[in-house]
Amino acid sequence: MHSIASHWLNYIDGEWVDSPQHLVVNNPGTAEPLATVARAGVADAERALLAARRCADSGALSRVRPAQRVSWLLRIASEIRDLANEGAWVLCQENGKSLADARDEFTEAARYFEYYAGMADKIEGTSIPLGDGYMDFTVYDPIGVSAQIVPWNFPVSICARSLAPALAAGNAVVIKSPELSPLGMCVLIRAIANAGLPNGAVNLICGLGRETGAHLVSSAKVDQIVFTGSVATGQSILRAAAEHAIPCVMELGGKSAAIVFADADREQLLASVKGGIFFNAGQVCSAMSRLLVQRDIYEEIVSDVVALAEGLSVGLGQDNPDLTPVISAGQLAGIETLCRRAADEGAVAATGGEAFSDRSGHFMRPTVFRDVSPEMSIAQQEVFGPVLTVIPFDTEEEAIAIANGTDFGLVAGVFTQNINRAMRCSRRLKAGQVFVNEWYAGGIETPFGGVGLSGYGREKGQEALYSYVRTKNVAIRVAGE
């Protein structure tokens, strides 16, 4: 167990800086205040942008030999591993998530830096044959200043997910941490501050989204925006980005479906349901929030998932239970509202449906809705809590239509022993990633992102690196050939 500093700072131009105003960070497990963080205002955002601009324009990151960026990224990864235990404790306390999952976030963050370190000296262009008299090639230039806005559900790993490829490609970055869970990211940035990058390469500000965040995304000093968060905020950021016609990566919400055929392996399925909807209290953009079950096995599966939900251990993150609190009182109230609406529309809560009334933190009962039809709001809207809807289907055709029948398209899953069916479904599912027989089967190596209201652009994997560069073609007329 570590003690937690009572006050935390922003990191701008290579220095930790305070601000006259503070934000209070609460512990979701106890609903008690945990610490304060300097609340960056518009002036702090401007300083961070200027520092990043100076760093990008000086070429301190982009004009060095790429092997230098490889060493910086590897050094960052090693510093993260050194701070992981302390960081995990901080993240667990401020976020409510289990200590083991918080530890995994730091490990994953280190992996992002190792992975993109491996690419930093391999961003190779191509030579394009144009016949005699010409030499033509492409180069990948960094974009410049990347503004990265991070949500509270996996702040450390999501921050690393965008920061590592941005640095690998030679960009300077200004990051805005989420108001509700900014402290673990401060530990992550401490690891980066220890790694000896040029000043201004990485800046962290914590402020209100509508103030500091909005300022960042509308600034002419920004060349690219990476946003992970809700659809409504993403849409407002896209409108701001349109003003300067800058590229964006948008990782938004989801209402992802798993299709379960009668031949599915039950053990694999139940392990996937447990991780898919109850991990991180369901506050996962790619959560398995809809379970589409072939009618022959519908009753059996409902009773299996109800037993699973009712058997989950519940408690404070530090004790590593199956189910942890949700992030805030507001989030809990929103989840309960959606559950009440589901009941009003005729869905039946086979278990749960409301908060735990006997706990002081923000604990939602693990919930399973049955008798859900695809058009109900509980089957269409993102809940972002431990709430599963179970929907019956008869044919493969019908299952695909239900799975594809929302405005989202982040991930999807198929559970079957029939490889042909799995292949057919994975081709037809409207999603950026399809899991077969294991939810979250991918990794940091596999491209991730959405279609529809789930956003666009890809993070993770080699493909993500190309979101952080601009292609330039050089076409040369060679005389005398």
Q: Which residues bind ligand NAD (CB under 6 A)?
A: 149-153, 158, 176, 178-179, 209-210, 213-214, 217, 228-230, 233, 236-237, 251-254, 285, 382, 384, 410
Between CA 133 and CA 444, with CA 471 as vertex, the angle to 5 degrees is 135
Q: Is 397 labeled as catalytic in the residue annotation?
A: no
Amino acid symbol at 457: G
Which residue among the candidates 186, 206, 248, 285 is catalytic per the annotation?
Answer: 285
Point out the residue whose Cβ comes nearest to ligand NAD.
209
CB of 310 to ligand NAD, least distance (A): 26
CB of 56 to ligand NAD, least distance (A): 21
Q: Which is nearer to ligand NAD, 29 or 254 (CB)?
A: 254
Q: Which is nearer to ligand NAD, 63 or 210 (CB)?
A: 210
DSSP-based three-state secondary structure for 343: helix
The burial of 394, by beta-carbon neighbours within 10 Å (0-12 exposed, 13-18 middle, 19 or more buried), is given as exposed
Alpha-helical segments (H) within 311-384: 329-344, 377-380
Indicate if the alpha-carbon torsion angle 209, 406, 439, 435 is positive or negative: negative
C-alpha separations of 385 from 120, 283, 331 in Å: 37, 5, 8
* Main-chain phi, psi angles of 266, to 5 degrees: -65, -40
CB of 178 to ligand NAD, least distance (A): 4
Q: What tokens appear for 194 in the block?
A: 């220890």
Q: Which is nearer to ligand NAD, 93 or 153 (CB)?
A: 153
Q: Which is nearer to ligand NAD, 87 or 178 (CB)?
A: 178
DSSP-based three-state secondary structure for 401: helix
Phi/psi region, residue 184 (left: phi>0; alpha: psi -120 to 50; beta: rest), is alpha
CB of 417 to ligand NAD, least distance (A): 30
DSSP-based three-state secondary structure for 74: helix
Q: Which is nearer to ligand NAD, 72 or 152 (CB)?
A: 152
User: What DSSP state is assigned to residue 275?
Assistant: I
Q: Which is nearer to ligand NAD, 162 or 294 (CB)?
A: 162
CB of 60 to ligand NAD, least distance (A): 27
Indicate if the alpha-carbon torsion angle 121, 122, 123, 129 is positive or negative: positive
Q: Which is nearer to ligand NAD, 150 or 378 (CB)?
A: 150
CB of 334 to ligand NAD, least distance (A): 10
Q: Tell me how crowded residue 463 is: count the other CB atoms within 10 A of its CB.
A: 15
Q: Which is nearer to ligand NAD, 174 or 264 (CB)?
A: 174
Q: Is 206 labeled as catalytic in the residue annotation?
A: no
**C-alpha dihedral, 50 to 55 to 56 to 62, nearest 10°:** -170
Which residue among the candidates 108, 179, 251, 396 is catalytic per the annotation?
Answer: 251
Please give the Cα distance from 51 to 262 (Å, whole number). 58
CB of 454 to ligand NAD, least distance (A): 6
Q: Tell me how crowded residue 426 is: count the other CB atoms within 10 A of its CB.
A: 16
CB 166 within 8 A of CB 160: no
CB of 239 to ligand NAD, least distance (A): 10
Please give the Cα distance from 269 to 411 (Å, whole number). 16
The burial of 42, by beta-carbon neighbours within 10 Å (0-12 exposed, 13-18 middle, 19 or more buried), is given as middle
Please give the Cα distance from 187 to 372 (Å, whole number). 43
The residues annotated as belonging to the active site are 251, 285
